[in-house]
A and B are shown apart, each in its own frame.
Chain A
């Protein structure tokens, strides 16, 4: 316990000043009603976990997306935005649709990574159903393979109305 205390005192604040909200993102009108509070549910539709790793880092001490009012939740009923990673595999097509239906409006879908946008390197694979926009309507796309955490935080900040 003392060792943990020493680590805390030595590390201090690890967070770097965050990126400003990405102005290039175009949001649907209903996003304005979420201003200041964004609950996010991550759905892995079949990714290689690279985007998950970057997403986890975005909520870690260095990038700290939580300071902009963004929080991860467990149930889509609690969520405002679904962050979908990976190309949608055949097994995940129906569950992804059901997750979207289970989310209360006003809601957004954020496609994270190149695979979510257009299947990326997995385009045409035998287990791939399609991109995320083939299953649910996508509102925001964050390109990259994988996108770096500050790009993710900038997009989140824009959606949360920071």
Chain B
């Protein structure tokens, strides 16, 4: 737990938080361009966040401390995860504090906090969003953990730094069936957990089609800003995991400023590519019915299971 390691962890957190709204802005811009529109500039989500801080915070009479605490827990856990994931360097002080399992369960903590807030609102929409969100999260869990299993078999550990270092040291492993299958499985889970099409439409206005949005209908002002920022950060965290666990080249293995700068540039390029893919998928695919989502997640589970089997037979 040396000072350099702590500095790297803090830097990663700040980096992810700063880039997250910009990356979401990029996603919206790509989607707009594909639809033939101009779209808002990339910095628009930051403007929205700044604006929400001057809005009133409305607290309904039936809510309690859960409604007040949930945005804090959601955003706090997102910040911790932003510091944990190896976006810039593997020499962060938090490397021994939490591994990939810890990241997954911290994200689950945020989801549970938001679901409870949705129930605390006391409206039918809040309950509906909470119910659907927990259903999808529960069914996505096996895929996530079995995919982590596959990764840790090849790397020998579920520790984030070790997985990254392992792929760096064995470049051919990046194209192995294990890694490719695990990547496909985690890509589907990313879409499910971050609420993008084809699982959930982030810009829908029809309450009966909402999942994530339904839980946030009651929030306003600074609380809404926190929840939106946490959603952006969670998307970037998932994309960073996809990028740096499977295609880690460019990441720094030390804490030297020059290496960190190069790593920042590399991860930004990878994130931009991934965000473009997410936006393109949103334009080309339609949202599936809620009760078809378990089938989609079951298919991703099969991919993850095959990844583990491949890791055993090709060990």
* A–B touching in complex (CB under 8 Å): yes
Contact present for B32 and A36 (CB under 8 Å): no
Q: Are A72 and B44 also in contact (CB < 8 A) when A37-B51, A61-B35, A78-B220 are?
A: no
Contact present for B40 and A67 (CB under 8 Å): yes
Rounded to whole angstroms, the CA-CA distance of A66 and B219 in the bound complex is 23
Rounded to whole angstroms, the CA-CA distance of A64 and B48 in the bound complex is 18
Q: Please report the total number of B residues contacting A with Cβ < 8 Å.
A: 35
- Max chain B CB contacts within 10 Å: which of A13, A35, A77? A77
Within 8 A of B (CB), among A1-34: 1, 4-5, 8, 11-15, 33-34
Contact present for A13 and B38 (CB under 8 Å): yes
Taking the closest CB of chain A, its distance from the CB of B173, in whole angstroms, is 32
Contact present for A66 and B39 (CB under 8 Å): yes
Rounded to whole angstroms, the CA-CA distance of A60 and B38 in the bound complex is 10
Asked if B218 is at the interface (CB within 8 A of a chain A CB), the reply is yes
Contact present for B55 and A106 (CB under 8 Å): yes
Taking the closest CB of chain A, its distance from the CB of B284, in whole angstroms, is 6
Contact present for A12 and B36 (CB under 8 Å): yes
Contact present for A104 and B55 (CB under 8 Å): yes
Asked if B193 is at the interface (CB within 8 A of a chain A CB), the reply is no
Contacts of A1 in B (CB 8 A): 284
Contact present for B205 and A13 (CB under 8 Å): no
Tell me which of B37, B56, B213, B224 contacts A74 (CB under 8 A): B213
Contacts of A68 in B (CB 8 A): 40
Interface flags, A65-84, vs B, CB<8A=1, else 0: 01111011111011010000
Contacts of A48 in B (CB 8 A): none
Asked if B54 is at the interface (CB within 8 A of a chain A CB), the reply is yes
Contacts of A60 in B (CB 8 A): 37
Contact present for B205 and A74 (CB under 8 Å): yes
Tell me which of A11, A37, A67 contacts B38 (CB under 8 A): A67
Contact present for B37 and A34 (CB under 8 Å): no
Contacts of A94 in B (CB 8 A): none
Interface flags, B199-217, vs A, CB<8A=1, else 0: 0000011110010010011
| Range for the number of chain A residues in contact with chain B | 20 to 34
Asked if A85 is at the interface (CB within 8 A of a chain B CB), the reply is no
Rounded to whole angstroms, the CA-CA distance of A4 and B34 in the bound complex is 10
Contacts of A80 in B (CB 8 A): 51, 55
Contacts of B40 in A (CB 8 A): 66-69, 71
Contacts of A125 in B (CB 8 A): none
Within 8 A of B (CB), among A37-76: 37, 39, 60-61, 64, 66-69, 71-75
Contact present for A104 and B57 (CB under 8 Å): yes
Asked if A97 is at the interface (CB within 8 A of a chain B CB), the reply is no
Q: Are A14 and B36 also in contact (CB < 8 A) when A72-B205, A77-B219 are?
A: yes
Asked if A123 is at the interface (CB within 8 A of a chain B CB), the reply is no
Taking the closest CB of chain A, its distance from the CB of B85, in whole angstroms, is 29
Which residue numbers of A lie inside 8 Å of B, CB to CB? 1, 4-5, 8, 11-15, 33-37, 39, 60-61, 64, 66-69, 71-75, 77-78, 80, 102, 104-106
- Between A and B, 11 residue pairs with Cβ closer than 8 Å are A12-B36, A15-B38, A64-B38, A64-B39, A67-B32, A74-B206, A75-B216, A77-B219, A78-B219, A80-B55, A104-B55
List the 7 shortest-distance A-B pairs measured between CB atoms, nearest first.
A104-B56, A14-B36, A37-B51, A77-B220, A75-B217, A61-B36, A74-B205
